[in-house]
């Protein structure tokens, strides 16, 4: 028996089969992997959150630990970095799932629950969860001290998840979770007594306690937890593998350590009394000096807040300040330095500020062109304090020890050696109070951070 075929039906069947085969091959064989897509696009889409520990604007430029790290990864891939801010982990997750973002770089803690939702890179930092309270209140030492109390946390945070688990052991635990506030806003509420207790990461506390001097650590809620980048939960590991290679190299070549120093290490130098005194003086002394600082900043292409920070370290904004060694004025200029700069009256606020700004710029100008910011400014500040010759001695010592003479973190560790005869006898300029210079720079960096925090909405210059 001969079968008869309908040619039209056969054509339709062949067409449908062809389309299905094409779709199958496209989805399973010829779709570019995540890494190739990023390179073809020429852009790495990164979701982060806006905070002092991750991503924020300073002097009209983006900065932050996560920003610097993720941007360096994009540069390693040969593409530009596109940052998208989102405070909520659920929204960040939605962006990963939809393909609108390639990775989340937002100080994300690895938890068992989150590992079911995303693929994590290798860790690049560690934090602990802390319970904070306000100075003047009784210090809680354990959860048993929090009966009938309310703890505040960020919604959908690892701290929130930790409380849910702890509820099984401490049935009396009570908390409020916030989806419309960020961590700085919660710090502010605790600082002014609007809430009683707060759980946060140690890295957030250490960086922000300068800005909120009433914050106190009660006890550690959790042991060390790892921070990592988050990627979409799928079998395509092409991008995450590159990220892991980058993070491993960043640990080996010191880049992670460099970012740690740049953003966090100096923050421990300012205690409660220092922060309180600073904020007291911003109310009573700073306002009338701001125009003077801004005028000098405009003239010398500096940030007025940095000039103010230097002045605060030198004189606490007291134009009549004088030291036992004879330096005086807002910028505490020596008589010889003032003479070299053409400053006739060191106690005159305008003249002193102009002289200090000019001297700082002179120190920066002496440094080799290859030294970039912010190291350039920190080295210049050390020279401002200790003298350029002694700074050069410290740079020589640093190089002899195998360090980088152009990197502030290495110079900071070498400066105290200028006080030891074993080292200073081999230098050109001899003994110097190097430890004091290192502390001097650390303090100014702290005051500069406080100035940026207090005046963060102001432009760098008028």
363-403 confidence digits (pLDDT tens): 999 999 999 999 999 999 999 999 999 999 999 999 999 99
240 and 368 housed in the same domain:
no
pLDDT above 80 (res 168)? yes
Instruction: Classify residue 197 by burial, with Cβ atoms within 10 Å: 0-12, 13-18, 19+.
Output: buried
pLDDT in the model for residue 276: 86
Residue 201 structural domain: 129-222
Q: Give the Cα separation of 153 and 179 in Å (integer).
A: 9
Is 458 catalytic? The answer is: no
356 and 209 housed in the same domain:
no
This prediction has a pTM of 0.78
245 and 117 housed in the same domain:
yes
Q: For residue range 110-162, what is the model confidence (pLDDT) as tens digits?
A: 988 899 999 999 999 999 999 999 999 999 999 999 999 999 999 988 899 99
Contact 173, 143 (CB under 8 A): yes
Cα dihedral: 55, 114, 158, 82 (round 10): 10
Q: For residue range 182-227, what is the model confidence (pLDDT) as tens digits?
A: 898 999 999 999 999 999 999 999 988 888 989 999 999 988 899 9
Pick the closest to residue 446 from 257, 285, 303, 268 (CA basis).
Answer: 268
Domain boundary among 266, 292, 326: 266
SS3 category, 328: strand
Q: Give the Cα separation of 376 and 206 in Å (integer).
A: 25
DSSP secondary structure string for all residues of 406-462: T-HHHHHHHGGGGGSHHHHTTSSS----HHHHHHHHHHHHHHHHHHHHHTTTS-S--
Neighbours of 439 (CB within 10 A): 17
355 and 394 housed in the same domain:
yes
Q: How many domains are contained in the chain?
A: 3
SS3 category, 181: coil
Per-residue confidence at 59, pLDDT binned at 50, 70, 90?
low
244 and 355 housed in the same domain:
no
CA–centroid distance for 331 within its chain:
28
Pick the closest to residue 212 from 148, 311, 260, 279 (CA basis).
Answer: 279
- Domain of 435: which CATH number? 1.10.530.10
Strand partners, 197: 151
- Given the residues 87, 258, 261, 314, the one annotated as active site: 314
61 and 210 housed in the same domain:
no
């Amino acid at each position: 028996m001969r079968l008869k075929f309908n040619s039209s039906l056969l054509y339709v069947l062949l067409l449908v089969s062809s389309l299905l085969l094409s779709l199958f091959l496209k989805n399973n064989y010829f779709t570019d992997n995540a890494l190739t897509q990023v390179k073809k696009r020429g852009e790495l889409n990164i979701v982060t959150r806006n905070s002092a520990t991750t991503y924020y604007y300073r002097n009209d430029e983006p900065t932050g630990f996560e920003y610097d790290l993720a941007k360096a990864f994009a540069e390693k891939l040969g593409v530009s970095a596109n940052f998208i801010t989102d405070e909520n982990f659920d929204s960040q997750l939605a962006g990963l799932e939809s393909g609108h973002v390639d990775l989340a770089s937002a100080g994300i803690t690895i938890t068992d629950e989150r590992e079911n939702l995303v693929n994590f890179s290798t860790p690049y930092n560690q934090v602990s969860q802390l319970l904070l309270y306000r100075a003047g209140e009784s210090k809680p030492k354990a959860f048993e001290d929090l009966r009938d109390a309310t703890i505040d946390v960020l919604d959908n945070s690892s701290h929130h998840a930790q409380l849910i688990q702890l509820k099984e052991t401490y049935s009396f635990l009570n908390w409020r979770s916030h989806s419309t506030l960020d961590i700085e806003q919660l710090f502010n509420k605790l600082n002014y007594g609007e809430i009683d207790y707060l759980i946060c990461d140690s890295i957030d506390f250490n960086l922000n306690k300068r800005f909120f001097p009433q914050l106190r650590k009660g006890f550690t809620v959790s042991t060390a937890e790892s921070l990592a980048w988050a990627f979409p939960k799928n079998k395509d590991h092409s991008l995450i593998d590159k990220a892991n290679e980058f993070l491993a190299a960043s640990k080996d070549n010191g880049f992670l350590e460099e970012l740690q120093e740049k953003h966090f290490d100096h923050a421990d130098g300012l205690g409660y009394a220092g922060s309180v005194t600073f904020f007291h003086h911003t109310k009573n002394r700073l306002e009338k000096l701001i125009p003077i600082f801004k005028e000098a900043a405009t003239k010398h292409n500096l940030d007025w807040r940095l000039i103010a920070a230097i002045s605060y370290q030198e004189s606490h904004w007291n134009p009549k300040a004088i030291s036992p060694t004879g330096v005086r004025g807002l910028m505490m200029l020596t008589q010889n330095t003032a003479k070299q700069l053409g400053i006739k009256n060191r106690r005159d606020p305008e003249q002193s500020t102009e002289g200090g700004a000019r001297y700082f710029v002179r120190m920066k100008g002496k440094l080799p062109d290859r030294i970039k910011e912010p190291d350039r400014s920190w080295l210049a500040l050390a020279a401002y304090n200790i003298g350029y010759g002694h700074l050069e001695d410290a740079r020589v010592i640093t190089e002899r020890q195998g360090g980088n003479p152009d990197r502030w973190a290495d110079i900071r560790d070498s400066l105290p050696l200028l006080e030891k005869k074993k080292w200073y006898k081999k230098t050109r300029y001899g003994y110097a109070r190097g430890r004091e210079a290192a502390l001097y720079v650390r303090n100014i960096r702290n005051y500069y951070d406080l100035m940026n925090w207090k005046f963060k909405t102001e432009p760098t210059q008028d």
